[in-house]
Amino acid sequence: MTDLAEFGFHEIFIEGDQSAPVLLLLHGTGGDERDLLDLGKSVAPNASILSIRGKITENGMPRFFRRLAEGVFDQEDLAFRTNELAGFIAAAKKHYHLEDRPLYALGFSNGANIAASLLLRNPEALDGAILLRAMIPFEPEALPDLSSKRILLIAGLMDQIIPAEQSKRLAEIFEQSKAEIKFILKPAGHQLIQSDLQDIQKFLAE
Ligand code: MLT
């Protein structure tokens, strides 16, 4: 058994069907590992779920990496936390015997941003990702090879926290990196809406 405790994350693991993918749930700022459980279960009832809590706190609110201001990220911390998360995912796959199953991140806001950072920096950590209200975490110096990755990126036109331009740029980078990307820009704000659920279900069923 691999010792996951040394990573210091709070996590929840729910075993699903062995033939179904694994969903890695990554909450938004101020959330925790319980936040996206209902969403995960409703979009993929048979999937195994690994849900973790970000280790940074900002005024008591958990996050996955530090920021200097809203939308301005501490790049050094982001790089460190992204590598740390990639290490945790590799260890968790061994610990829970998930190596043969596809692993998709399902992230909202800050959780979607670190999932995007994983795809750009440590693409081997994920087989794909569902990114809800994500922005570009950094401009990569070199494009990763994402040719085997499936990505769903859903952005809100009226999102006050994530400007649509930022999500568009992220979609463009994924496209240039040869990912199989589906980008949906819809009349929504930062909060999730009912049609997000349907879009995710459709993506996972394809
Ligand atoms: C971030 O800090 O990751 C983004 O601004 C989204 C958020 O507020 O969590």
Pocket test for ligand 1, best of 109, 136, 192 (most atoms within 8 A of CB): 109
Binding site membership of 161 for ligand 1 (Cβ less than 6 Å) = yes
Whose C-alpha lies nearest to ligand 1, atom 1?
A: 110
Can you tell me whether residue 147 is helix, strand or coil?
coil
Give the integer Cα–Cα distance in Å for 140 and 206: 29
Binding site membership of 28 for ligand 1 (Cβ less than 6 Å) = yes
What pLDDT, on a 0 to 100 scale, did the predictor assign at position 2? 62
Binding site membership of 169 for ligand 1 (Cβ less than 6 Å) = no
| Tens-digit pLDDT profile for residues 57-108 | 999 999 999 999 998 999 999 999 999 999 999 999 999 999 999 999 999 9
Distance 96 CA to ligand 1 centre (A): 30
Q: Does the pLDDT at position 3 exceed 90?
A: no
| Tens-digit pLDDT profile for residues 121-164 | 999 999 999 999 999 999 999 999 999 999 999 999 999 999 99
Between vectors from CA 19 to CA 14 and to CA 21, what angle results, nearest 5°? 60
Q: What residues contact 180, with CB distance under 8 A and at least 6 apart?
A: 149, 150, 151
Question: What's at 84, amino acid-wise?
Answer: E
Average pLDDT (23-41) is: 98
Atom of ligand 1 nearest to the CA of 70: 5
Domain ranges, ordered by start, for the chain: 5-205
Question: What's at 127, amino acid-wise?
Answer: D
Look at domain 5-205 and name its CATH class. alpha beta
Binding site membership of 110 for ligand 1 (Cβ less than 6 Å) = yes
Catalytically active residues are 109, 159, 190
Binding site membership of 29 for ligand 1 (Cβ less than 6 Å) = yes
Residue with structure tokens 């087989």?
127
Distance 24 CA to ligand 1 centre (A): 18
